[in-house]
Amino acid sequence: MTHSDADRIVELEAEVDQLKEAVVSHAVVDQAIGMMVALGRVTPGQGWQVLKDVSQHTNIKLRNVAELIVIWGRRGEIPPDIRAALEESLDLEESLDRYGPTQVPGTAGD
């Protein structure tokens, strides 16, 4: 095996690792969108927008926001800043004549 072959193998292994991570990330984001659809009564496109809004307002990577939302679905725990951003984003969705509720489940009004 030549030096360039070894370099190419290392490059391909790195690419495979990146693709594996992307698949996992995509699955987590899809799960979080599904939660927004179910809990927020929004379309999948609106659920994606909610995740983007929360990510931007909290300055947390979208994938990490999605992970926190999926954990919330399993454990019922979510950081207060994420909860507040979700409520705000879902209120915006509703005010734009969409379908979202005004309150995230598990808040004081439940």
Domain that holds residue 91: 3-95
pTM: 0.69
Sorted by sequence, the CB contacts under 8 Å of residue 34 that are 6+ apart come out as 44, 47
In a domain, 104, yes or no: no
Count Cα atoms within 13 angstroms, Cβ side, for 40.
30
In a domain, 25, yes or no: yes
Instruction: Quick: pLDDT tens for 8-67.
Output: 898 999 988 888 887 777 899 999 999 999 888 889 999 999 999 999 999 999 999 999
Q: How far apart are CA 59 and CA 65, in angstroms?
A: 10
- Confirm if 73 and 42 have CB atoms less than 8 A apart: no
The distance in angstroms from the start CA to the end CA of the chain is 65
Q: How many domains does the chain have?
A: 1
In a domain, 100, yes or no: no
In a domain, 55, yes or no: yes
In a domain, 101, yes or no: no
Within the chain, strands assigned E span: none
